[in-house]
Amino acid sequence: MQSRYNRRARQLPVLPLHQTVRVQHPGNLRCFRTGTVEAQPRPRQYVFRLTNGRTVKRNRVHLRLVPAAYNSDTTLQHNGAPAQDSPCLRRSECLQQRIGAS
């Protein structure tokens, strides 16, 4: 059973210190906030500082590298688009904003 699970499993690359990352919100799995890696106390575990100054600890699987095109103080939604500092939107609210913007 374990060999089948490990067949698709892969190691994620180590994040360097002071790297800007997107952090998956624990309550809304499609919402990301940005932060900067501060430390790596254990393998696959990172301590980082969010743009609001709060320090948080998360596993590597919940972190994504920020594309170079985005500023480090920008909050990103699940689709990678920049969002305001407001709480993350539900999918239907995102669609309503897109329809209203076009």
CATH classification of the domain holding 80: 2.30.30
Cβ–Cβ under 8 Å, residues 35 and 53: no
Distance CA(49)–CA(40), nearest Å, equals 12
In this prediction, residue 72 carries a pLDDT of: 45
The structural domain count of the chain equals 1
* The predicted structure's pLDDT at residue 37: 94
Q: From first to last of the 102 residues of the chain, give the pLDDT tens digit.
A: 788 888 888 888 899 999 999 988 888 778 888 999 999 999 889 999 999 999 999 999 899 888 766 654 444 444 455 544 445 555 566 556 666 655
pLDDT at 69: 64
**C-beta contacts of 77-84 below 8 A and 24+ residues apart:** 77/30, 77/31, 77/32, 78/30, 78/31, 78/32
d(CA 74, CA 84): 8
Classify the C-alpha dihedral 82-86-91-93 as positive or negative. Answer: negative
